[in-house]
Amino acid sequence: LQKVFIFLHVTTSVVIGKTLMILFPNAMKRYILKLGEKSRMNKNPKFSYDNWGPTFFSFKYLLFVLKVKWKRLEDEAHEGCPAPNTPVVTCSGEVRHLFDFMQDNRPLILNFGSCT
């Protein structure tokens, strides 16, 4: 049921966004560039709006957003429920899953940090 709701929400957003891009291209360009400021995407001189802007609200965009949102459903943790077996990347760049690191009945401790 959650996947159906996400599908309807994302599809509606894409149809409305695509319609607005056709009717009001300059206003939508300003809006998308504003979104790029938040993600700092437009700070990179190798990315120009002409390269990535028109991809917003395309069919590929729809499929990508659906894939990401549906994948996040699997990664949600809820109190009292088993933890999700989320994919992680080791320091050597290998993709593994959390449960790969469990040993016998020992608790698995995750420590998150930043090196910035």
Residue 99: the pLDDT is 87
Mean pLDDT of the chain: 83
What is the rounded average pLDDT of the residues 68-86? 79
Contacts of 6 (CB under 8 A, 6+ apart): 66, 69, 70, 73
- pLDDT band of 42, cuts 50, 70, 90: low
Is 66 contained in some domain? yes
Is 9 contained in some domain? yes
| Residue 9 pLDDT > 90 | yes
With a pLDDT cut of 90, the percent of the chain lying above it is: 21
**Interior/surface letters 48-77, b for 16+ CB within 10 angstroms, e for the rest:** eeeeebeebbeeebbeebbeeeeeeeeeee
CB 56 within 8 A of CB 19: no
CA pair distance 11, 88, nearest whole angstrom: 29
Which residues constitute the domain of residue 66?
A: 1-75
C-beta neighbour count of 21 within 10 angstroms = 19
Residue 80: the pLDDT is 85
Torsion, CA 107, CA 108, CA 109, CA 115, rounded to 10: 160
Is 81 contained in some domain? no
Residue 45: the pLDDT is 73
Is 2 contained in some domain? yes
Is 42 contained in some domain? yes
Is 115 contained in some domain? no
What is the rounded average pLDDT of the residues 36-64? 79
Residue 32: the pLDDT is 82
Total domain count, the chain: 1
What is the rounded average pLDDT of the residues 28-42? 78
Is 50 contained in some domain? yes
Is 112 contained in some domain? no
What is the rounded average pLDDT of the residues 9-38? 88
